[in-house]
Amino acid sequence: MPVVHLSPILLSLFSYQFFVLADVFTKQAGLAGLPVFQMTFIHSFVSASILLLYVVFSKNWHHLHVSNWKLVGLRSIISPFNLGCSFFALGLLPLHIFYTLVYLIPIYTALMAAVILKEKTDTRTWLAISAGLMGALIAIYGSADNTTYQVDMIGVIVALIGGILFACNQLITRKASASEHRLALAFYPLTFNIIFSSILCVIFFDDLKIGDPASGNMALTGLFGLSGLFCNLAALKKGRAAPVVAMIYSQLPTGAVLGYFLYQQTPKPETLMGAVIIILAGLYLIWHESRPRPISDNISTP
């Protein structure tokens, strides 16, 4: 039976709570009408600046050295699209619905491991994946109402796309963390975010809200998001992916409480039912992943 260490689990728990705080400030900026590309620029600029200051004062330039540019580059390219989808969806969806859809990430990860990585998958795993997707449909049905159905569905679709991109980045991070320092895994995607969003800011300059108070919210988002990213990368470095990813489910109670007190948003019974199904399916997949498997069941590495 594999040993589960407490340190990476606590780091992961802290990381996802930092992400919740970042999401709250992001939602505030989105409700204020700040463009997504401007939100991405401010968030990434603040995070990258803090990172760079740390590297300068600690003189740990060697931590930015990259051994596998292919993985780091792929993670960097995905990053602005993943971030943009999350920012856009947060402006449209209640927090509890957003996190319910985020909980599909372990389902996506298992599905991609089976289809893309050709990992051996048994019938029970496929049933868990199917149950998780069915739970998402129930939650989506519960999130829709007659007055905001169109807006909600746009947010749902974008959140689903963002979840798939995040799952891709999780797989890449797990593979890359064996050879790359967490500073490099954080810095280069943030740098690419700045470059990419800067181009969009120039193209759509007339849409910018320079000096808007919502920009301050995005600065705090960058601070909390960077803190969460560091904790998450450290957790993935120290422990197995399965128990680390399981801590993502700690976001729902925090998000539901903050959503209720800040925005008077109460989950519907259908949404809660869908969330329970997704969580149970995700926990099964996490437990299944944490079991020791025969060598023949593992992915062969070149």
Whether 302 is covered by a domain: the verdict is no
Residue 265 is part of which domain span? 6-297
pLDDT at residue number 292? 59
Whether 260 is covered by a domain: the verdict is yes
Cα gap 159→82, rounded to integer Å: 9
Domain count within the chain: 1
How much of the chain, in percent, has pLDDT values that exceed 90?
14
Whether 180 is covered by a domain: the verdict is yes
Asked if 166 contacts 232 with a C-beta cutoff of 8 angstroms, the reply is: no
User: In this predicted model, what pLDDT tens digit does every residue of 7-17 receive, in sequence order?
Assistant: 777 888 888 88
Question: Per-residue confidence of the chain (302 residues) as pLDDT tens digits?
Answer: 444 456 777 888 888 889 889 888 888 888 888 889 989 998 899 889 988 988 888 888 988 999 899 999 999 999 999 999 999 998 888 887 888 787 777 777 777 777 776 667 677 777 877 887 788 777 777 666 544 444 577 888 898 899 889 888 878 887 888 888 888 988 999 999 999 999 998 888 777 777 777 788 888 888 898 888 788 878 877 766 666 766 777 777 788 788 888 888 777 777 778 878 878 887 777 676 666 555 444 433 33
pLDDT at residue number 175? 81
Whether 1 is covered by a domain: the verdict is no
Whether 212 is covered by a domain: the verdict is yes
Closest CA to 214 of 84, 87, 97, 49: 87
Whether 245 is covered by a domain: the verdict is yes
pLDDT at residue number 70? 92
Whether 90 is covered by a domain: the verdict is yes
